[in-house]
Amino acid sequence: MEEATTTEGTFCLQQVTITESSEDDYQYEEIPADEDFSLQEGDEDLAKALHTMHEQTIDAQIMAQRPGQITKQSLSETPEIVDDFLCNFLIRMGMNRTLDCFQTEWYELMQRGVLEPKDVGFVPDAYTCNQHLERENIYLKKEMENYKFAANKAKEALLKMQRERDFHRMHHKRVVQEKNRLINDIKRLKTHYALYEPMLRQLNEKYEILLREKMLTSLERDKVVGQITGLQATLQSLESGSNIHIPVMKVGHWCDREAGLVGPSQRALRQAKEQKVHSAVNVHDSAKDPAKQMSKKYPKDSEFPEGIQVNPYLACAKKCVRPLKSGIYRLSNTLKVHDLAVTCLALHPRKDIIVTGSDDRLWKMWAFPNGNIIVKGEGHTDWLSGCCFHPSGSKLVTSSGDKTVRVWDFTKGGCILKLEGHSYAVLDCSWHSCGDFVASASMDETSKVWDLNSERCRYTLRGHKDSVNSIEFFPFSNIILTSSADKTLSLWDARTGDTIVSCDSYGVLKLWDVRRGVPMVSIDAGPHPGNQVAFDPSGHIVAAASNDGTVKTLELKSGHLSSLLGHEDKVQSVIFDHMAEHLISGGSDGTIRIWN
């Protein structure tokens, strides 16, 4: 009964006295079947039943008097009982055995009467508030983590935006500085160009004066030519039976020298040499002979061969029987051979092999037209300016901006000789047909002839007044051809009657007659400068490397000039193969291009 009382809530007890009376006078009240009241099993005590009925009556009266207040109170939160709180806590924590022990001991004490209902009470509001605060604390912690994550992302975005701001600010400052510098350059250029106007007017006046003088000179020349023609006609009429043969100079005229035929200059030189030898035999003191003294001092010095030798290239030229034209070449292959500009090309004497030199301080040997690399040479400390094969094809000579000339031996796989003596960069090199001498041209206004056997400089050729840009041995002769920035071509020990071709910084090509020393033909291929020229084996076509990125080809017989397009930058060098089937060009774009 105590347990039922505890579960039903708080109530008050009143003492009631029941008088004895007959059962007939007692009025029984009918209890509806659906009334929410029933006596529990074991609760058949009369006093208890009466007490329960009295409580229900009081509750009904209270509910009838204040229905709104009761409804409001029924919705209010009722504090939790202590034992329910503990049971719920143990269940939530999963402490089932502790819960069983607690319930056993709790109900045992309640049955014994040790625990009174007044001692049980409710859980204080502080615990409930603590639970509520704990839930709020957990929720707030989750919110704090979310906000912290969002704050970190915002911080990263802010740092990124600050870096971008600094970058754009720096870029803006740089652009402003460049703009100011460009404005200053434009102002300076305007001031500079303003100075050219009076100079241009002066040059224009000079040009008009020279043009008038040229017209007067042409009139006088025509007058003189007419007089000469009349005199020649008079002489022809006076000299009966005499026929005057006037030689006709044609572009591309080729003179074949017969084997064993000696020209008048060679014959005179030979006779002078024989007379000198005969006279020296009689009166010469061998002990004071400077040649013998020199030979004793340098016993390894080589002897220059006779100047009269047959040029075997003439036979190769005759093999090119098909007519060649300057416009028949087409680009067939492009090879990326160097990282920097290709400055020079050299063709193997007998094989389809090319050596290229570059500003990257390397030379490379290639097989063409497939472009397979064969060997690479390293050793120069500056850009390469020229390269040339030994007549046998087993060696290579290179010149460089490091003031040296190096000789490479393919059989030994390295540099076998380093020639030093120039005071400035060496711009070109050439190998003598005998293979014992190398010639080099330098920016120090000199050219040198090196003896490879004695490993020394035999001769220093002085005479140019500016940088010597190129040097070349005439095939199978002792003649050296040099070109210089002083606008001159020089022949050293000139004894043959060949034709040479040259180019200048205005793009003008000139063909020279060596014996006469005058230009035979002049072709304007400008306005861009020409860097190198080369004859084809037949001597009928000239190729020129131009600064406008094209290769100019000139057909000497017809004078037809054409351009080969393909390079993306300046063309530095050109060369023909042995049979004139391929034309190879090297450019500043680091490539060589093969035309066939």
pLDDT in tens, 222-236: 888 887 887 777 677
Give me the chain's average pLDDT, please: 75
Query: Strand 446-451 relative to strand 530-535: parallel, antiparallel, unpaired?
Result: unpaired
Which one has a higher pLDDT value, 265 or 592? 592
Does 172 have pLDDT greater than 90? yes
Does 108 have pLDDT greater than 90? no
C-alpha distances (whole Å) from 327 to each of 370, 455, 484, 496, 542 are: 23, 45, 30, 31, 12
Say whether both 383 and 487 belong to one domain: yes
470 in Cβ contact with 488 (< 8 Å): no
Query: What was the pLDDT predicted at 182?
Result: 95
Q: How confident is the model at residue 516 (pLDDT cuts 50, 70, 90)?
A: low
Q: How confident is the model at residue 150 (pLDDT cuts 50, 70, 90)?
A: very high
Say whether both 510 and 578 belong to one domain: yes
Say whether both 543 and 491 belong to one domain: no
Q: State mean pLDDT over 408-437.
A: 87
Does 27 have pLDDT greater than 80? no
- For residue 304, which of 499, 500, 515, 473 has the smallest C-alpha distance? 473
Query: What was the pLDDT predicted at 519?
Result: 72
Q: Residue 434 domain-assigned? A: yes
Q: Residue 250 domain-assigned? A: no
Which one has a higher pLDDT value, 538 or 19? 538
User: Residues 433-483: pLDDT tens digits?
Assistant: 888 889 999 998 888 889 888 888 888 888 788 888 888 887 777 788 888
Q: Residue 487 domain-assigned? A: yes
Which one has a higher pLDDT value, 273 or 99? 99
Look at residues 478, 496, 514 and tell me which one is the last residue of a structural domain: 496
User: Residues 264-318: pLDDT tens digits?
Assistant: 444 554 565 566 545 544 444 444 444 444 445 566 666 766 655 556 656 555 5
Rounded to the nearest 5 degrees, what angle is found at the Cα of 346, between the Cα atoms of 344 and 351?
155
Half-sphere exposure of 400 (CA within 13 A, CB side): 26
Does 44 have pLDDT greater than 70? no
Q: Residue 533 domain-assigned? A: yes
Q: How confident is the model at residue 528 (pLDDT cuts 50, 70, 90)?
A: confident
Q: Residue 188 domain-assigned? A: no
Q: Residue 356 domain-assigned? A: yes
Of 271-275, 319-323, 520-524, 585-589, least confident by mean pLDDT is 319-323
Domain CATH for 418: 2.130.10.10
Say whether both 489 and 385 belong to one domain: yes
Number of Cβ within 10 Å of residue 134's Cβ equals 10
* DSSP state, residue 443: T
Q: What values do phi and psi take at 163, rounded to 5? A: -65, -45
Look at residues 63, 92, 112 and tell me which one is the last residue of a structural domain: 112
Which one has a higher pLDDT value, 486 or 42? 486
Does 41 have pLDDT greater than 90? no
Query: What was the pLDDT predicted at 352?
Result: 83
Q: Residue 534 domain-assigned? A: yes
Q: State mean pLDDT over 13-21.
A: 56
Which structural domain, as residue segments, surrounds residue 345? Answer: 328-378+499-595
Q: How confident is the model at residue 175 (pLDDT cuts 50, 70, 90)?
A: very high
Query: What was the pLDDT predicted at 119?
Result: 67
Domain count, the chain: 3
Q: How confident is the model at residue 513 (pLDDT cuts 50, 70, 90)?
A: low
Say whether both 474 and 452 belong to one domain: yes
Query: What was the pLDDT predicted at 476?
Result: 78
Q: State mean pLDDT over 390-415.
A: 88
Say whether both 517 and 589 belong to one domain: yes
Q: How confident is the model at residue 243 (pLDDT cuts 50, 70, 90)?
A: very low
Say whether both 437 and 385 belong to one domain: yes
Question: Can you give 9-53 as a three-state secondary structure string?
Answer: CCCCCCCCCCCCCCCCCCCCCCCCCCCCCCCCCCCCCHHHHHHHH
Label residue 74 exposed, middle or buried (CB < 10 Å: 0-12, 13-18, 19+). Answer: exposed
Q: Residue 541 domain-assigned? A: yes
Say whether both 519 and 561 belong to one domain: yes
Among all chains, which residue has been given the structure tokens 């004894």?
A: 495
Interatomic CA distance for residues 441 and 430, integer angstroms = 9
Query: What was the pLDDT predicted at 49?
Result: 77
Of 54-63, 240-249, 428-437, 574-583, least confident by mean pLDDT is 240-249
Say whether both 407 and 476 belong to one domain: yes
Say whether both 421 and 389 belong to one domain: yes
- For residue 573, which of 563, 591, 557, 586 has the smallest C-alpha distance? 586
Say whether both 407 and 512 belong to one domain: no
Interatomic CA distance for residues 289 and 226, integer angstroms = 60
C-alpha distances (whole Å) from 285 to each of 101, 288, 410, 416, 501 are: 144, 6, 45, 39, 46
Look at residues 472, 496, 520 and tell me which one is the last residue of a structural domain: 496
Q: Which amino acid is at 308?
A: I
Q: State mean pLDDT over 331-360.
A: 86
Question: Can you give 502-560 as a three-state secondary structure string?
Answer: EECCCCEEEEEECCCCEEEEEEECCCCCEEEEEECCCCCEEEEEECCCEEEEEECCCCE
Q: Which of 189-198, 310-319, 370-379, 483-492 has the highest mean pLDDT?
A: 189-198
Q: Which of 5-14, 33-42, 64-73, 297-306 has the highest mean pLDDT?
A: 297-306
Q: How confident is the model at residue 19 (pLDDT cuts 50, 70, 90)?
A: low
Query: What was the pLDDT predicted at 272?
Result: 58
Q: How confident is the model at residue 373 (pLDDT cuts 50, 70, 90)?
A: confident
Query: What was the pLDDT predicted at 151?
Result: 94
Interatomic CA distance for residues 582 and 85, integer angstroms = 105
User: Residues 190-204: pLDDT tens digits?
Assistant: 999 998 889 999 999
Query: What was the pLDDT predicted at 493?
Result: 60
Q: How confident is the model at residue 167 (pLDDT cuts 50, 70, 90)?
A: very high
Say whether both 372 and 520 belong to one domain: yes
Percent of the chain with pLDDT over 70: 69
Q: How confident is the model at residue 263 (pLDDT cuts 50, 70, 90)?
A: very low
Q: Which residues contact 485 (CB under 8 A, 6 or more apart)?
A: 466, 467, 468, 469
